[in-house]
Structure 1
Amino acid sequence: MLTLLTFPAAFGQFSASPFCVKTAYMLQLSGQSWQRSDMLNPSKMPHQKLPVLRTSQRLVADSDLIRDWLETQGANFDADLSDIQKAQSRALIRMAEEHIYNHVVLDRWGNDEVWPILRDMFFTEVPALIRRPVTHAIRKSVMKRMDGAGVSRFSDTERTDRLERDLEAISAFLWQSPFLFGESPTAADMSVGPVLAAMRATPKETQLTRRIKTDTLLNSYLDRLEQAIPL
Structure 2
Amino acid sequence: MALTYLELDFESKTTLELNKAPKGKAPWLEDNGIIADSELILGHLDSKTNGRLLGQLTAEEVAIGTAFTRLAEDHLYWLTVASRWLDDEWFEVVKRDFFSSLPWPLRTIVPLIGRRRMRQTYDLHGLGRHSLEEQQAFLDRDVEALVARLTDHNYIASDRMTIYDFTVASMLASSMDNQPETWVSARMNREQSLRDYIERVQEEVGVYGRK
TM above 0.5, one fold? yes
Write the distance in 1 (CA, Å) between the matches of 2:121 and 2:204: 34
Question: What is the identity percentage for the equivalent residue pairs of Structure 1 and Structure 2?
Answer: 27
Indicate the RMSD between aligned Cα atoms, in angstroms: 1.7
Q: Is the 8 A contact 2:46 2:52 kept in 1?
A: yes
Specify whether residues 177 and 77 from structure 1 end up closer, same or farther in structure 2 by C-alpha distance, changes over 3 A only. same
Structure 1 runs, 4 residues or longer, greater than 6 Å off: none
Give 3-state SS (helix, strand or coil) of 2:105's partner.
helix
Give 3-state SS (helix, strand or coil) of 1:172's partner.
helix
Q: Is the 8 A contact 1:114 1:203 kept in 2?
A: no
Give 3-state SS (helix, strand or coil) of 2:153's partner.
coil
Post-superposition offset of 1:150: 1.8
Q: Please tell me whether residue 186 in structure 1 is matched to residue 162 in structure 2.
A: yes
Post-superposition offset of 1:48: 1.7
Amino acid at match of 1:169: A
Q: Please tell me whether residue 68 in structure 1 is matched to residue 43 in structure 2.
A: yes
In the other structure, the counterpart of 2:71 is 95
In the other structure, the counterpart of 1:40 is 16
Per the normalisation by structure 1, the TM-score is 0.82
The aligned runs of 1:110-121 (5 Å cut-off) are 110-121=86-97
Post-superposition offset of 1:112: 1.4
Write the distance in 1 (CA, Å) between the matches of 2:14 and 2:169: 21
Amino acid at match of 1:170: L
Post-superposition offset of 1:64: 1.0
Any unmatched runs of 5+ in structure 1?
Answer: 1-24
The aligned runs of 1:49-198 (5 Å cut-off) are 49-55=25-31, 57-74=32-49, 75-124=51-100, 126-198=102-174
Any unmatched runs of 5+ in structure 2?
Answer: none
In the other structure, the counterpart of 1:14 is none
Write the distance in 1 (CA, Å) between the matches of 2:183 and 2:19: 32
Q: How many residues align?
A: 206
Q: Is the 8 A contact 1:113 1:204 kept in 2?
A: no
Q: Is the 8 A contact 2:189 2:195 kept in 1?
A: yes
Q: Is the 8 A contact 2:73 2:171 kept in 1?
A: yes
Post-superposition offset of 1:172: 2.1
Give 3-state SS (helix, strand or coil) of 1:68's partner.
helix
1:68-101: per-residue Cα shift (whole Å, max 9, x none)? 1101101532444321221121111111111111
In the other structure, the counterpart of 2:185 is 209
Q: Is the 8 A contact 1:108 1:202 kept in 2?
A: no
Specify whether residues 124 and 61 from structure 1 end up closer, same or farther in structure 2 by C-alpha distance, changes over 3 A only. farther
Give 3-state SS (helix, strand or coil) of 1:113's partner.
helix
Write the distance in 1 (CA, Å) between the matches of 2:182 and 2:15: 28
Q: Please tell me whether residue 218 in structure 1 is matched to residue 189 in structure 2.
A: no
Give 3-state SS (helix, strand or coil) of 1:38's partner.
coil
Q: Which has the higher strand share?
A: 1
Per the normalisation by structure 2, the TM-score is 0.89
